[in-house]
Chain A
């Protein structure tokens, strides 16, 4: 047994008071979960502490919270681990972000999370004709979609999605991972339509800023951002969907600029994103129109010296030897017959390989 102090964020919507912090001391073995700690406080001291929970084993997805500022399942976080990562030895538990709080640690998932899930047409649109027995599909395909199927809809990724913080309309990591579950399912009849829809939506797959927060947040290894990137690769490379958000062109520009210079050439990135992946892009009328509308962003970049006027004509680049190394990476990856996609159900986690 050990003693731990929990600092819980309390909010009673009926009181008219603002949210506040409240400390509870609990006694449990260090490898017990934060949820067990909260339940001990609830059962022993104060039954009014509000938290959704059910299975206690990280499968029902009820107890998503923020622990020491990071999203996780309360049942999936050990007390000793949480204490170690606290700022002052007190385990801080508060409701998830990006969703309105109903009471204490309980948030309104319907208002945000489920609304977004429904946005991606979250059901199979089966290929016709439906066979009498099962659809015969590659063995690997079903193992592959298991990674997104493993999502328990806990909302941890939604809680800390930075893009959603800036653009609340962003479809978001959980819903897009759900979308991959259909796009990756060979029985679904609408891969192209789904991808086009998600690529054309200004709050769709190209609204993700690649920040990795959702991968860190996910307690089930779903890696939502990886699923979003797979949607992009499918949309851009395999289905050649040129979206009105310039997402596909932006990625292509990114890839070829790094290949060419070993570094990103910011001055070229925007023109190419709008005008197509060629050095002449900046002279295209479509690029000019977009560049004009992006002037505030360009001005900011200039002010912060992310780009300099000189760099437009003389881009910075890596030393030749390093550039050759970068090229070699490109050749290896592009030389493969098939794209290698990371998937814990197929390749395991890094530590599984050792």
Chain B
């Protein structure tokens, strides 16, 4: 099984187009960092504009606020929504791409089962997701920390401001990246399922993006009829729950409780729902793939 996984990874990482994703991510991250490096004050002023009635913000405060942790948070907010596309590029191609090339025959006429092949393709997609996230961590977290330094992290929500001390942040990022891995693996599993259904890799890639797009819109919309019926079960609703790690608890006097997460059960529930989706997508992929006639 490991040897098969090694083959799959070889195929993914020997293909030049795999690196488009890594390049695109680097470009986005660097553009954000560049903009904030040279024009960060304007961004901070924008963030603080509605708070200046209650607080006074010194230049030191503004410099401290715009630290590597905040910038990584801003980047994750921007980029994690786009990353499903990059995941779909690889996972959506994994079966359909081989079907269109004819190499699926090359694999399926060998003594490996179709379930095994799905597992291997899935595992390879997961490794790819992890590589993307590792790359993102290097660029967005390490890069921003090196460029902007570390300080306390202030997260603005519509319900209030969350502030955590700088030495209470790094573990949150580890947890968030871990959660993002589950979220993107869900997209990979969906893409794999759509890939099983198709003989042309463009189909599953576009279909994945369409599903993610439509579900995200439904998740973001505030329509009462969907709020309690559809939204809680859309996987896109739960994909953004990594942010939960950056919402803290406060004690009776309103002070941040160190190492706390405001609503950990909700975050874990979201992770559970995503894992459920992964299992469902994977099981359906295997079920359909085992019954599929390979005609290409």
Interaction A to B: no
B residues near A, CB below 8 A?
none
